[in-house]
Amino acid sequence: MNLKISKGIYVWCQFDKSSVEAITCLQSQTNKILLGPKFDPHLTLTGPIPFKEELHSNMFEELASDTQQFQIKLNGIGYKNEFFQSFFLNVLESKNLNSIRLSIEKIFGFASKEYFPHVSLFYGNADLNLKENLAKKLFIPNEVLVNKISLVKINQSIGGWNIYKTFKLKKNSLPSF
């Protein structure tokens, strides 16, 4: 069971207001049963990264201004016997999600060996049967809207995680009816 996470700067996808409200509601329902810590809804893209303000800020600004907001499709609830992947929304990989992740990895000249996209609802240790029963009771949205990427300072204490800098993605230019 992995209880450690490397300190440093991580890159998160974050969501529009209605998606955050839906995810926060699911976190609240989950934590009534599993009793975990509070944290901002997010999908980790990569990290830790060797971020240098003077070197990389403009690159993230440019990436965000060139990237349209996008929907990610959710595929049920998953759970593992791992502290930081304990109970979560399964995310289907997509062209948009992989593209933004690969662009960030290109900036830093590395590639992740594996990627498991998910939106955590609970961090901690809990009985697998309890998680299984809870997963059957929760209603989840079909998709959520990613509208920004954030740089997050991560340390051992979840309560001490700090969103350092946020970059808004370009709004879709679809006509409204």
Judged against a pLDDT cut of 90, whether residue 138 lies above it is answered with: yes
State the average pLDDT over residues 8-13.
92
Nearest to 23 by CA among 141, 125, 135: 141
99-135 pLDDT tens trace = 999 999 888 888 777 889 999 999 999 999 999 999 9
List phi, psi (to 5°) of 79. Answer: -155, 150
Judged against a pLDDT cut of 70, whether residue 1 lies above it is answered with: no
CA distance 23 to 105: 27
Token pair belonging to 118: 């998910």
- pTM value is 0.91
Between residues 50 and 112, the one the model is more confident about: 50
Strand partners, 68: 170
Between residues 156 and 23, the one the model is more confident about: 23
Q: How is the chain classified by DSSP, letter by letter?
A: -------EEEEEEEE-HHHHHHHHHHHHHHHHHH--------EEEEEEE---HHHHHHHHHHHHHHSB-EEEEEEEEEE-SSGGGSEEEEE---HHHHHHHHHHHHHHT---S----EEEEE-S---HHHHHHHHHH----SEEEEEEEEEEEE-S-GGG-EEEEEEEPBPP-PPP-
State the average pLDDT over residues 26-46.
95
Predicted confidence at residue 5, as pLDDT, reads 58
Token pair belonging to 136: 């059957």
Judged against a pLDDT cut of 70, whether residue 6 lies above it is answered with: no
In the chain, what are the domains?
A: 8-168 (3.90.1140.10)
Judged against a pLDDT cut of 90, whether residue 53 lies above it is answered with: no
- The percentage of the chain sitting over the pLDDT mark of 90, rounded to a whole number, equals 73
Computed from CA positions of residues 126, 131, 39, 51, in that sequence, does the dihedral angle turn out positive or negative?
A: positive
Predicted confidence at residue 56, as pLDDT, reads 87
State the average pLDDT over residues 41-65.
90
Predicted confidence at residue 173, as pLDDT, reads 67
